[in-house]
Amino acid sequence: MSENTYYITTAIDYVNAAPHLGHAYEKIATDVMARFQRLLGKEVFFLTGTDEHGTKVEKTAQARGLTPKQHTDELVEEFKKAWQYLNLTYDRFIRTTDKDHYEVVEYLWRKMAAKGDIEKRAYKGLYCSGCEKFVTERDLNEAGECPNHQRKPEEVEEENYFFKLSKYKEAIQTHIRNNPGFVLPDFRAAEVLQMLEDVEDISVSRHKDSVSWGIPVPDDADQVIYVWIDALSNYVTGIGYQHDEALFNKFWPAIHIIGKDILRFHAIYWPAMLMSAEIPLPQQVFAHGFININDAKISKSVGNVVSPFTLQERFDLPNPDPIRYYLMTVATFGQDGSFTEDDFKLKVNADLANNLGNLLNRTLNMTNKYFDGQVPQSQHAKPGVLHTEGVDEVRQAFENYDFQKAADLILQLVDWANKEINDKEPWTLFKEGKLQELADLMYTVLETLRQVAIMLSPITPVLSDEIWSQLGYQASLSDLMPRWDDIANSNIQPGQRVNLQGPILPRLDSELAGANKKK
């Protein structure tokens, strides 16, 4: 990956149930980073997809009276539908049932085996089907249960293939210590180093009598490749490894955005496998926290699963931006956040409908009233560099995955513009005939709105396009593909005719927001 390219991936989702806000949280954050990097002028490759093999999928399909492939084909469409609704700009949706992925997994297996890093051993241990991994007593809670799935693992005795993970322990420790930022947030890097202290070799296959739904082990038809070699390899398959070397060399290494619950696999297992296969390590692994529902972990058994479509229907959302904005601002990315419907409604109304929406509406109304709908000529405002320091802070926040801070800084500019209007009272300036002072004020606020539209576009692309259109631009913001430098180096042109079209977002639960439902 060069300075001008950027490869970012999400974890691939297990297809034993439909997508919910927890899935959406990670995918939206990754999309925000992809969009931001495009604003910086980089060529971006964004990968997401589904993890389709293993016991959970096999059992879920059986319970539904379907084959595993029929089940996964059906669920994949639900994920794609959700990601389309949330306006994700991924470049490939990879499935671990894709033909090229089978070929890559088999190739990597042979390569690691030839190096002596995979060998067959008899094994007896505890297996958690929910985690799709063997666990030890220290991984369990006081009741002897998996803390993630609240059930006891089963005791399994099999002859499986093992990967010599312990062989790479010191190399991974050294890499983490010598490369600050390889694992983020920083406290997660400390967790990984602690995990490495007692790392052991890992089982990388299951007998076909235990798991038949998966990629067969090369040259051993009785064994199926265990989930982590299969699942993790998607990151190199998705970017052309062994199939399009030019693409692979152009974009690899990757930035992996994952949940904190799979940090061990991405920060220990995956680097070790790559070292074994002699592939460069990822650039970065960022482990985010969970989105809880009313402070409780999302769980089918608890019955608190909320999907993006639940919110779309409940609030009659005109577009997905309220969901995108709320999830990116509910907590610092990297920490846990909690979704509640009341908080969602309050924050979206306060920040987007009231603060930003009202600023745009009142500014355009006054532009129509005082300047015949045209952007006035300013003598004293400094077009394009009104808030340079603030723009740099926003950029730094995005670069640090601090989407909450980025949004807060952008909304501070909106607050500032609203305060300018309230303090300087354009209606009074007009009455007193201070037309140049009025022109300077209105130009400054219109220019601020232009800057806000660009800066907020990674998070709220639809609303940013709407602001852009109402400011009078003919081409949409997304079609123009502006650059971050345009925020300071360009400006709204005097004489441009604004295009007031009403609220960019009706207040949630208002009469207007529910109008379609009432019809």
Give the sign of the dihedral formed by CA 505, CA 510, CA 512, CA 517.
positive
Q: Average pLDDT, stretch 497-510?
A: 92
Q: Which listed residue (56, 146, 266, 424) is catalytic?
A: 146
Query: 293-318, pLDDT tens digit by residue?
Result: 887 787 766 667 899 999 999 999 99
Query: 487-497, pLDDT tens digit by residue?
Result: 888 889 999 99
Average of per-residue pLDDT values in the chain: 92
Q: According to the model, what pLDDT value does residue 300 have?
A: 65
Query: Is the pLDDT reported for residue 40 higher than 90?
Result: yes
Query: Is the pLDDT reported for residue 364 higher than 70?
Result: yes
d(CA 223, CA 211): 9
> Quick one: DSSP state of residue 411?
H
424 noted as active-site residue: no
Largest CA distance in the chain: 90
Phi-psi region of 311 (alpha: psi -120 to 50; beta: other; left: phi over 0): alpha
- Select from 347, 285, 272 the least CA-distant residue to 315: 347
Q: According to the model, what pLDDT value does residue 385 have?
A: 45
Residue carrying structure tokens 């990822």: 282
Domains in the chain and their CATH numbers? Answer: 342-518 (1.10.730.10)
Whole-number Cα distances in Å, 480 to 262, 406, 452: 38, 22, 16
- Say whether 382 sits in a helix, a strand or coil: coil
d(CA 214, CA 160): 15
Q: Which listed residue (120, 300, 380, 419) is catalytic?
A: 300
Q: According to the model, what pLDDT value does residue 227 have?
A: 83
Q: Which listed residue (42, 149, 167, 260) is catalytic?
A: 149
Q: According to the model, what pLDDT value does residue 512 have?
A: 47
d(CA 145, CA 262): 18
Kindly state the percentage of the chain with pLDDT values over 70.
Answer: 95
Q: Other C-beta atoms within 10 Å of 121: how many?
A: 11
Q: Which listed residue (53, 71, 131, 256) is catalytic?
A: 131
Q: According to the model, what pLDDT value does residue 387 have?
A: 61
Query: 438-453, pLDDT tens digit by residue?
Result: 999 999 999 999 999 9
519 noted as active-site residue: no
Query: Is the pLDDT reported for residue 339 higher than 80?
Result: yes
d(CA 65, CA 490): 60
149 noted as active-site residue: yes
Q: According to the model, what pLDDT value does residue 163 have?
A: 97
Q: Average pLDDT, stretch 312-333?
A: 96
250 noted as active-site residue: no
120 noted as active-site residue: no
Q: According to the model, what pLDDT value does residue 519 have?
A: 41
Query: Is the pLDDT reported for residue 382 higher than 60?
Result: no
Query: 213-230, pLDDT tens digit by residue?
Result: 999 999 999 999 988 999
Q: Which listed residue (71, 128, 133, 387) is catalytic?
A: 128
d(CA 283, CA 248): 14
Query: Is the pLDDT reported for residue 191 higher than 80?
Result: yes
Query: Is the pLDDT reported for residue 516 higher than 50?
Result: no
Query: 384-416, pLDDT tens digit by residue?
Result: 445 667 889 999 999 999 999 999 999 999 999
517 noted as active-site residue: no
Q: Which listed residue (42, 80, 297, 347) is catalytic?
A: 297
354, amino acid identity: N
